[in-house]
Amino acid sequence: MPSRWSSSSSSSDHPPFNNRYPPNPRSTGFSSEGHLPFDSPPNHPFGGGGGGPPPFRPMGGGGGYGPGHGHGHPMPMPGQKRGRGSPDRGDGGNFAKLFIGSVPRTATEEDIRPLFEDHGNVIEVALIKDKRTGQQQGCCFVKFATSEEADRAIRALHNQVTLPGGLGPIQVRYADGERERLGNFPSAVEYKLFVGSMSRQATEREVEEIFSPYGRVEDVYIMRDDLKQSRGCGFVKFSHREMAEAAIRALNGTYLMRGCDQPLTVRFADPKRPRAGESRFGPAFGGPGFGPRSQETVGVRPPPNLGDSLGGRYPPHAWQPMSPKNAGPSSQVANTFGGHLSTRDGVGTLPSTAAGSLGVLGGTTNGSLQGLSVTQSLTLQQTPTPSAAQNQPFGQKLSPMQKPLQSPQHLPSSLQLNQQQPPTSLSQSQSSHTSNQQLGQLQLPHAIGQYSVGLAIPSQPLFGSSAQLSISQPQVQQSASAAALQSSLNIQQQGLPAAVVQQHPSVSSVHQQLLQPIQQPPSQLSHILMQQQVQALQSSFQSSQQAFSQLQQQLHSIHPTAQNQQLNSQTSKPQSPWSGVMPQTVVSSPANAPATVAPSTISATPAVPVSTQAVAPQTCNWTEHTSPEGYKYYYNSVTTESRWEKPDELTLFEQQQQQQKLQQQHLQKLSVPQLQPQSQTQLSTQIQSTQQASQMQQLQPQSQLRQQQQPQIQLRQPSLASPYQASGGIQSIQDQGYAQLQASNSSVIDCARFQQGLQAAQEWMWKNKPAGT
DNA sequence: CGACGGGACGC
DNA sequence: CGACGGGACGC
């Protein structure tokens, strides 16, 4: 069952809640069940499978959002059980109520209250007991004064703490109807994917690893039989549809879990059949996966007839990709496997392959990862044998090579910049895959470059759809990606080991692929090393991903409606608000955007600052992390060693990084003032107040991007001033975050700070959001 | 201010 | 080819 942080009998010198104490670094008691790290630990050495004691794997923070049931629909007031107060008052009634599950029946308020008071002002703790028997029901409600406090508590406690006598970690989420009552509609939704053909050995954590590149995974549930044996399928929740979509695009039919002979099935889950007594306004109605627009971008699955959604299941073929000619106006690419190159929209304005290969490439911040993984990992293993290739069910889909529109000559010439990179053995082996390689490298740059892709482009499509842009979408995107690419080059030049860097894009799959050989007797040391490096990179990446996801959530929760409206009312771009944020469209569109156009903007991109290159590159295998109880610890991705004390190497490393930053601060100051004078200023102030100041930096390609995007943003301002101001603010945060991320190879650390900055900025945005939203 | 029936996809 | 955990008060 669920692992627990505490076992009240574990150690005599442990208090009832040893969650407040550092876990034993050698503990192996983390089985991870539905635990989704918020501040995800660095490495995820899927300790299982292999031999030897798994390295310390403290579990991350709670999955945070996501009520157990998806009350996503704004209209009805689901389960507003005792809230007879008018739900439409905006104040939410001056409290935020959380439902706490898995509370031992023996627990008292004194057991519970202190836990929550660590995260805010607890107004009330109400233990629930049976009316008749008076026995406690194993759950309770906790009221906080504000939803911010409630959010903190969720993140800190959900799935993190097992109360004495409890059978599993407590579940902390908003009470039914609470999100709606508080007006946090967007946060109330969740996008649940059904995942089939999973390895029956897989743990929740492993599944999370696979999906987390596409967004912060809110929850993982593996179906198990009575004996707790996996049934080989389960559910993964994201907070945003775009993440789920990206995961589907990238993973469905393409990801082979270790020990499996079938690739994962990934699609939106059917609505869960409500249990007796459950609100009739339950998940089936609001199920985000079935929202009004959900079918627009993923799959041609028929929109569930609301009146029919309670028990309806659709024939399997309904999920299959529809051929373009049959595709209705709203049909999008469900997935591209099977060699289908469907258009993303009925009009065909968007690059068809963009959705597929590049969509994979550009997928979500990393949908890309998966896409490139095949070629990359094959190369890495140096086993380009047909058999090896055939083991991958990816076939056509994942081989960008086979996408007609991606031949090298279609790429902006500036992309060739990559070739200035001194060829490593890896890149040489890939030399025949020029385009792949380049696309891959776009993703490469440590977590940073990945991130940069997501952050660099974002606001563009967000604020302006193609119809109103002076520059066509694709062009902008291309130039943007090119800039990002340059950034990535930049980073590589800063000294990330090329081999490591190149693996990064495909972490997940590489992972998977590396694990296999490792289990075989003649495993090479190099594989192990690579695996470790990959892990480090992967975790770094995840950290950035999480920060990014956070940002997305925030953005989404601020003006979802306005964003949707805008996007809906315009153009052929059926993308969600994230279309720009997610690299999904970043690289693509060779069809529409003659590559020859893009280079002009790219060429304008200044070279990497000398100062950047001048600094001696350095890496550090140690990364800083936070255990679920909030304690810092340090993990060495190479030795897999964990320790509580900060290693000197890391201290030194950070000092060097700091120096580097100081050298470049003036550069950053030059670029900051450009954007959104108002919000920019405030936000940067805010961010810097959270110790970010020293982290801010440089980034020429970035500032270049801003210049390109700026006019477009402002173009849009008139009609939707307030929303877009807020969004503009976000953009600036993204830029800064990006800058910061790029600043250091030790992105895990930076990401943590980045998140802090984000939070501060988010709070600011929230407080300053336009009234009525 | 009303407070959850009835029936139980379809391959 | 596998489809949903597990707790939802009383004022």
DSSP code per residue over A114-132: HHHHTTS-EEEEEEEE-TT
Structure-token match 């392959």, residue found: A353
List the single range of A372-386, A521-535, A659-673 with lowest mean pLDDT: A372-386
CB count in 10 Å sphere of residue A265: 19
Q: Which nucleotide is nearest to A127 (CA to C1')?
A: C9
Radius of gyration of chain A (CA): 24
Which residue's CA shows the smallest distance to C1' of B1? A84
| A643 beta carbon to strand B: under 7 Å | no
Task: Check residue A116 and give its pLDDT.
Answer: 95
**CA-to-C1' distance for A372 and B7, Å?**
49
pLDDT band at A134 (very low <50, low <70, confident <90, very high): confident
pLDDT at A660 over 60: yes
Task: Check residue A619 and give its pLDDT.
Answer: 82
DSSP one-letter string for A478-544: HHHHHHHHHHHHHHHHHT--HHHHHHGGGHHHHHHHHHHHHHSTT--HHHHHHHHHHHHHHHHHHHH
pLDDT band at A458 (very low <50, low <70, confident <90, very high): very low
Task: Check residue A665 and give its pLDDT.
Answer: 73
Q: Which run of H or E residues covers position A592? A: none
Q: Give chain C positions with protein CB within 7 A.
A: 1-11
Q: Give chain B positions with protein CB within 7 A.
A: 1-11
CB count in 10 Å sphere of residue A208: 26
Task: Check residue A223 and give its pLDDT.
Answer: 94
Which residue's CA shows the smallest distance to C1' of C5? A221
Q: Nearest Cα to A239, choosing from A211, A266, A205?
A: A211
Task: Check residue A121 and give its pLDDT.
Answer: 93
| A521 beta carbon to strand B: under 7 Å | no
Q: Nearest Cα to A195, choosing from A244, A261, A243?
A: A244
Task: Check residue A639 and give its pLDDT.
Answer: 53
Most confident of A78-82, A244-248, A526-530: A244-248
Task: Check residue A645 and give its pLDDT.
Answer: 66
Mean pLDDT value of segment A524-553: 44
| A284 beta carbon to strand B: under 7 Å | no
Contact partners, residue A226, CB within 8 Å, separation at least 6: none
pLDDT at A508 over 50: no
Which residue's CA shows the smallest distance to C1' of C2? A233
Tokens found for residue A560: 């979802």
**CA-to-C1' distance for A646 and B10, Å?**
59
Please check whether residue A144 is in contact with residue A120, taking contact to mean a CB–CB distance below 8 angstroms: yes
Which residue's CA shows the smallest distance to C1' of C11? A82
pLDDT band at A461 (very low <50, low <70, confident <90, very high): very low
| A310 beta carbon to strand B: under 7 Å | yes
Q: Which run of H or E residues covers position A151? A: helix A147-157
Helix residue ranges per DSSP H, A14-132 = 109-117
CB count in 10 Å sphere of residue A334: 26
- Separation between Cα atoms, residue A417 and residue A414, nearest integer Å: 5
Structure-token match 């120096």, residue found: A659
Q: Which nucleotide is nearest to A280 (CA to C1')?
A: B4
Helix A700-716 to helix A446-456 angle (10° resolution) is 20
Q: Nearest Cα to A192, choosing from A248, A152, A120, A118?
A: A248
Q: Which is it for the CA torsion A583, A549, A42, A760, positive or negative?
A: positive
Tokens found for residue A13: 């010198």
Instruction: Read off the pLDDT of residues A16-59 as tens digits, 9 standing for 90 and up.
Output: 333 332 333 323 233 333 334 333 333 332 323 333 232 333 33
Task: Check residue A201 and give its pLDDT.
Answer: 94
Task: Check residue A641 and give its pLDDT.
Answer: 57
| A280 beta carbon to strand B: under 7 Å | yes
Q: Which nucleotide is nearest to A77 (CA to C1')?
A: B3
**CA-to-C1' distance for A304 and C4, Å?**
18
Per the model's pLDDT, the better-predicted residue between A750 and A615 turns out to be A615
Please check whether residue A301 is in contact with residue A320, taking contact to mean a CB–CB distance below 8 angstroms: no
Q: Which nucleotide is nearest to A84 (CA to C1')?
A: B1
Q: Which nucleotide is nearest to A69 (CA to C1')?
A: C4
DSSP E strands, A36-114: 96-101
List the single range of A40-49, A162-171, A523-532 with lowest mean pLDDT: A40-49
Which residue's CA shows the smallest distance to C1' of C10? A82
Please check whether residue A388 is in contact with residue A376, taking contact to mean a CB–CB distance below 8 angstroms: no
CB count in 10 Å sphere of residue A387: 7
Mean pLDDT value of segment A82-110: 75
Instruction: Read off the pLDDT of residues A421-441 as tens digits, 9 standing for 90 and up.
Output: 333 333 333 333 333 332 222
Task: Check residue A276 and give its pLDDT.
Answer: 56
DSSP E strands, A597-657: 622-626, 632-636, 642-643
Q: Which nucleotide is nearest to A81 (CA to C1')?
A: C8
Q: Which nucleotide is nearest to A270 (CA to C1')?
A: C3
Mean pLDDT value of segment A686-695: 39
Q: Which nucleotide is nearest to A276 (CA to C1')?
A: B4
Q: Which is it for the CA torsion A31, A36, A41, A44, positive or negative?
A: positive
Tokens found for residue A534: 């990959």
Mean pLDDT of chain A: 50
Please check whether residue A496 is in contact with residue A619, taking contact to mean a CB–CB distance below 8 angstroms: yes
- Separation between Cα atoms, residue A17 and residue A139, nearest integer Å: 18
Mean pLDDT value of segment A227-256: 93
pLDDT at A748 over 60: no
pTM above 0.85, yes or no: no
Instruction: Read off the pLDDT of residues A303-336 as tens digits, 9 standing for 90 and up.
Output: 333 323 222 223 222 232 332 333 333 323 333 3
Task: Check residue A132 and give its pLDDT.
Answer: 82
Per the model's pLDDT, the better-predicted residue between A386 and A663 turns out to be A663
Which residue's CA shows the smallest distance to C1' of C4? A272
Instruction: Read off the pLDDT of residues A572-628 as tens digits, 9 standing for 90 and up.
Output: 333 333 333 333 333 333 333 333 333 333 333 333 333 444 455 578 876 665 544
| A621 beta carbon to strand B: under 7 Å | no
